Structure 1
Amino acid sequence: MGRIQKKGVKGAAANFITRQQALKKLQISIADFRRICILKGIYPREPRNKKKANKGSTAPVTFYYVKDIQYLLHEPLLVKFRDYKSFARKLNKVLHKGQTSSAKSLTENNRPSYTLDHIIKERYPTFVDALRDMDDAISMLYLFSQMPVDSRIKAKTVKSCQTLIAEFQNYVMQAKCLRKVFFSIKGIYYQADIKGQTVTWIVPYQFSTDIPTDVDFRVMTTFLDFYITLMGFVNYRLYNELNMSYPPVLGKDSFQLDKSAIDSKKTDIGEEDDETSALDEFKSTAPAGNNHTGDEDGEQGATVTLQQIRDASNEVQSLQQLFKKHTFFLSRETPRYALEFMIRACGGQVSWDASVGGVPPFPESDERITIQVCDRPKVNNRVLSRTYIQPQWIADCVNSRKMIKSSLYEPGQLLPPHLSPFVEAKEGDYVPTSGLEEEESDVEEEEDEENQETLDSSATPGGDAHIDDYEKELKAEAAGVTFSEYKDDDSATGKKDGKNKKTNKKRTAEDIEKEEQKEMATVMMSNKQRKLYNRMQESNQKKSDETAKLERKKKALKSSKK
């Protein structure tokens, strides 16, 4: 007979610990426990069997891994939290006695402070790991950079956020790694490709912000402290790779870097850097390679991959120099910071109205200006050498990676649909179009029709008809149709638009073999599998019907507009 196991020594009861037990083990308050868990990246866990994990109890509790709590026992921040608790007790005692001078000296000399540098190094061993976790960090920094200062949000915190995002924006503009832009109701979505990692963040619109009362800002500021430290590490590394000094010199405008500092530290990115960035972007989006058995298949796969890399490199280079030959001027009603960021990230020069803020590089009367961005129904006193467009044109050009027809975006006109570039359509889904591709296809169709008419008018009717009949007979023979069957079908059905319908109706051996294999696989299914397969087919048919319905509506709307 084996030894009787004690309850709670093995299994789920030994692997999990409740939050109350963790607080008792660490000897800290629940507020400090929340803070250290956020900083160290420790989250509650859900055991498979809560009753076993809680040693037979069914009370609702929060569980953590025992190993995570043991990992926190040796954290240096716990000592700092205890030191701060004793400091707060001493300060409170001095203030109650009315000794303001003692309280001031105590605050200046004995206030404990801590840094989060060691936590950043622990959680992100490599630079790529830090870049993968940048989405939330940048979004929160942009959010707090526009927050009003009060008792919960300090002015020093807001200033740090504004400085860090200005430095990050400057890096994106210098490296020209912006890839996608989308104007949404919540804000402006950006996507950049940094060292092969896709970083997506959202920037709120510049409106007055009301601080909500139902948000726990103690938790938010804990995340913010961690993200501020992380962003400082990342910015330092990014600037070093561009051979730029860090921290850069900021101008009078908190969101904008000093132009003289940018020009003095700017380095030209050569062709090798462009190819490296294109390869990094392709690595982040390319599918995994297949193992080829034959030499010819391997060579063919390598050729396709190289062609895709070349295409990606050409797209990236064209996007980086998209606005290089243009000089922009932003009217006062347009969102200056967003448009300036997009234009300069694509190689363009930009200026703005002096009333918006900052020192504009050149005035509105400058003759170098080729495009003026306006957001008003009518523009008076136009300059003939300039193109006037609405702000959406810049975002659509960045997303399509080419210069779009500007006549569709003139002030006062109804804009084309602004579609999200982040949506990935699956097979069979309805993909809406912005209307720009349709106009290009219409122009191409008109040209093709004109060319066809000229060819038909210049062709001789007798000789061409004889050649067409001979070609059709050869196609029918290759498809396995006998000469007598071809003649009978030709005499019975006739000819329509120069197409042989018998050859279309005649199934090839491959089609017959595929249908037989499909029927055999269906027969070999069990009842459960067959029902599931039928439901899948029904759902696919329903989706295709909905897609066809939307396509018909789109064609009807297009024909009604004509």
Structure 2
Amino acid sequence: MGRPRNMKKKGEAGEAARFISRSRAVRKLQLGLQAFNRVCIIKGIFPIEPKNRIKAQKGDSKYRPLYLKKDIKFLMHDPLIWTIRQEEALRKKLAKARHLRDGYKEQLVKRNKPIYRLEQNVLERYPTFVDAVKDLGDPLTMIFLFCNIEVRPPIYEHHVSRCQRLKIEFLTYVIEASCLTKAFITTKGYYYEVEIMGHNIVWTAPHNCVTEVPPNADMKIMRHFLEFYIAMLGFVNFRLLGKVDLRYPLKPKVMPRLKGAEKKDLDNLKNLMASLNYPLEKTTEESEENLDDNETTSKLIKGSSEKTQKVYAERMQAEARRKLFSGLKFFLNPECNRESLTLVIRSCGGEVSWPSTVFPCSTYKEDDQCITHQIVDRPNFDKKYLTRFYVQPQWVYDCLNAVTLKPCQPYLPGCPLPPHICPFLKNFEGWYIPPEEEDLRKLLAASPEEKEALLKEMAAAEQKKLAMLRAVNEKSDDESGSEDDDDEDKYDEDENDESDEEKDEEVEEDGDDAVNEADASMEVDDGEGNNKEEEKKDDGKEEEIKDVVRRGKERFYSKKKDESKEERTDTRMRTLMIHKKNRKLYHKLKTKETKRLRRSSMLKDRREALELHKIGKISDEQLEGPPKTKIKQTFSERRAKLYQSRVRSAVRFARSAANKNRFRGEKKKPAIADTRDE
């Protein structure tokens, strides 16, 4: 009998027909592996995990990267593949010319190198401008990273210079649009959040130091990503700077007068834009009518009812953030991070300057009397002025995150800083929220009038804590002093001792009376007039104790335990009713929830222990906790360990014996026959 018409061969339908392995895709496209990776990164095609890997790999269980067949068919007709093939052919010609030492032919080959552009690929991946704005997080992190990276093949100088230019363009847009919402400092670097066209974009910027490339990083793959991100961010910056009426490429509004070698040096012009503090040329001047409209809308929102204010709370907060540092003048000391602080201060409406020896474009000098705040990151410095506040850099970031000007006293130079709270707040069930984060949440939810009262309350609470700590320190000093005095008092007269004993007896009598009065006050009921004994009886009624004898032992059960058991059984039965496919997902979610609860309880206990340690109720040893003890191994684990050690020793012995025989040239001896008596 023949095969039915509807019957298909193995691999013609289902998972096997949808996917294709990477080796087969490379052969089909007639490219090398590196060129294939490059095309896939530029076109946005990545490996996909199938539902059933064994079926997709036609019965093979070994892991292989799988791609969709329709994506590979789409790549076959892409013009980018032809340019990559031409590049590979020219590379072979160039190697041949170098081998033959033919300089003329080598120059010809370099001139004929094909040039490919990625405009069409950017349009294919992001058909609208909003789609490109949503996906700005990863490009910004990579471009900010490659600004400070060491130049080494396959990363060349033109990659780094282009990244630096794109970074400056994006930061100038953020300053002009005043769209910075959050900033946070970590060991990894600076986390920033920007709101563009109603979408929040988060990216990281490393600290100002040359980042070392780890040896296990594949920089060729990173370069392919970087090439696409450079092309994408160039288009995005062009559109964004056009919205703020800035000329593209950036050009200074007033060209400085440079003489001699300074005029020829292009770095002087680049530094004007890199300072983020120099006025730039605009296409159209900002009209005064738009400014008046913004002021009138803000006044209308403030004068409206509470409901409308809640609806427009985010808009009011954004306006308050834009004018946070308006009217304030900052001066940065040389040790501070100039780029990050100028970004935050200028996007919030402030003015910045620094010493002219550090970087060009400093607007005013240190001895200017108009300076309101000087940012210092060292405890000791020479000049001090009474007309300004001296603050550490964390104050600027904390003010931005809280959308209020915080008091400067906790941030004075040399003082221990308050905790730097993460502004990226999480709202999970069972998530631990420290008291400082609760204060930040209150400040963000409060109106500008309520914020002043909240700040006063926080300052009063901090003063109380400081007073308690001082009192504890004084007590500890007094106790140490009293111990020294006791040694001297041993040699006093007996009459003084007798008088002290009489005083102690009087004090003890007074203390007993006070304790009796306290017991009487505790016996007073909440409103029904019951005594302690009656309350104990009521508690005993609530928890009825049952005596059950099992195997000669008494066991007590309460209602609470029975209820908890019933709940456990109910949940167990519900989990059994879940379908097998969804049961794994349910267990994953439960384990995630338990981990979160465990983590929150651990953080809560740790915070309580630290607070008690500050007061002096807990010693250093108690804070660190008991030393970790080694977990005892079970009998089965010990037996398995012994078995593995015996196997290893036997293998070692067998190898050593075989090597001895091999080097001696001896053959294996025949097995000795068993000559025992039957």
Counterpart of 2:574? 529
Counterpart of 2:55? 52
SS of aligned partner of 1:17? strand
* Alignment gaps of 5+ in structure 2: 253-268, 299-304, 440-453, 463-524, 532-562, 577-585, 618-678
When residues 132 and 276 of structure 1 are mapped into structure 2, their CA distance, relative to the original with a 3 A threshold, is farther
The 10-residue stretch of structure 1 (163-172 or 354-363) with the greater mean CA deviation from structure 2: 354-363
Give the whole-Å Cα distance in 1 for the aligned partners of 2:414 and 2:99: 66
Give the whole-Å Cα distance in 2 for the aligned partners of 1:144 and 1:103: 31
CA positional deviation for 1:522: 6.7
Counterpart of 2:107? 104
Deviations 1:453-512 (A, max 9, x none): xxxxxxxxxxxxxxxxxxxxxxxxxxxxxxxxxxx9956259xxxxxxxxxxxxxxxxxx
- Identical aligned residues as a percent: 34
Give the one of 155, 165, 182 matched to 2:167: 165
Counterpart of 1:252? 270
Q: How many residues align?
A: 470
Counterpart of 2:529? 492
1:413 maps to 2:407: no
Indicate the RMSD between aligned Cα atoms, in angstroms. Answer: 3.6
1:440 maps to 2:456: yes
Give the whole-Å Cα distance in 2 for the aligned partners of 1:445 and 1:146: 43
Give the whole-Å Cα distance in 1 for the aligned partners of 2:294 and 2:83: 45
Q: 1:252–1:358: 8 Å Cα contact kept in structure 2?
A: no
1:43 maps to 2:46: yes
Counterpart of 1:483? none
CA positional deviation for 1:430: 2.4
Q: 1:319–1:346: 8 Å Cα contact kept in structure 2?
A: yes
Counterpart of 2:558? none
Counterpart of 1:117? 119
- State TM-score, norm by structure 1: 0.75
Instruction: Summarize the alignment of residues 150-229 of structure 1 with structure 2, pairs less than 5 Å apart.
Output: 150-229=152-231
The 10-residue stretch of structure 1 (233-242 or 147-156) with the greater mean CA deviation from structure 2: 147-156
When residues 5 and 349 of structure 1 are mapped into structure 2, their CA distance, relative to the original with a 3 A threshold, is same
Q: Which amino acid counterpart does residue 441 of structure 1 have in structure 2? A: E
When residues 39 and 275 of structure 1 are mapped into structure 2, their CA distance, relative to the original with a 3 A threshold, is farther
* Alignment gaps of 5+ in structure 1: 278-302, 447-487, 495-517
Instruction: Summarize the alignment of residues 140-539 of structure 1 with structure 2, pairs less than 5 Å apart.
Output: 140-249=142-251, 251-253=269-271, 255-257=274-276, 259-261=278-280, 267=286, 270=291, 306-434=308-436, 437=439, 440-441=456-457, 490=527, 492=529, 527-529=572-574
Higher relative contact order (CA closer than 8 Å, sequence separation 6+): 1
Q: Which amino acid counterpart does residue 340 of structure 2 have in structure 1? A: A
Q: 2:48–2:66: 8 Å Cα contact kept in structure 1?
A: yes
When residues 42 and 365 of structure 1 are mapped into structure 2, their CA distance, relative to the original with a 3 A threshold, is same
CA positional deviation for 1:329: 0.4
Q: 2:178–2:347: 8 Å Cα contact kept in structure 1?
A: yes
1:74 maps to 2:90: no
Counterpart of 1:131? 133
- Which of these two proteins has the greater Rg computed from alpha carbons? 2
CA positional deviation for 1:127: 1.3
Give the whole-Å Cα distance in 2 for the aligned partners of 1:435 and 1:423: 8
CA positional deviation for 1:75: 0.9
Instruction: Summarize the alignment of residues 5-20 of structure 1 with structure 2, pairs less than 5 Å apart.
Output: 5-20=8-23
CA positional deviation for 1:198: 0.8
Counterpart of 2:93? 90
CA positional deviation for 1:560: 5.8
Q: 2:430–2:597: 8 Å Cα contact kept in structure 1?
A: no
When residues 100 and 442 of structure 1 are mapped into structure 2, their CA distance, relative to the original with a 3 A threshold, is closer
CA positional deviation for 1:215: 1.6
Q: 1:245–1:265: 8 Å Cα contact kept in structure 2?
A: no
Q: 1:331–1:372: 8 Å Cα contact kept in structure 2?
A: yes
Q: 2:179–2:347: 8 Å Cα contact kept in structure 1?
A: yes
Q: 1:429–1:547: 8 Å Cα contact kept in structure 2?
A: no
Instruction: Summarize the alignment of residues 19-38 of structure 1 with structure 2, pairs less than 5 Å apart.
Output: 19-38=22-41
Counterpart of 2:498? none
CA positional deviation for 1:154: 1.3
- State TM-score, norm by structure 2: 0.63
Q: Which amino acid counterpart does residue 274 of structure 2 have in structure 1? A: F
Q: Which amino acid counterpart does residue 65 of structure 1 have in structure 2? A: L
Give the whole-Å Cα distance in 1 for the aligned partners of 2:102 and 2:600: 79
CA positional deviation for 1:421: 1.0
Q: Which amino acid counterpart does residue 270 of structure 2 have in structure 1? A: K
Q: 2:136–2:201: 8 Å Cα contact kept in structure 1?
A: yes
CA positional deviation for 1:102: 2.9
Give the whole-Å Cα distance in 1 for the aligned partners of 2:438 and 2:411: 11
Q: Which amino acid counterpart does residue 18 of structure 2 have in structure 1? A: N
SS of aligned partner of 2:529? helix
Q: Which amino acid counterpart does residue 210 of structure 1 have in structure 2? A: E
Counterpart of 1:480? none
Deviations 1:349-368 (A, max 9, x none): 00011222223111112222
Deviations 1:183-210 (A, max 9, x none): 1001011111111111111111112333
When residues 208 and 542 of structure 1 are mapped into structure 2, their CA distance, relative to the original with a 3 A threshold, is closer
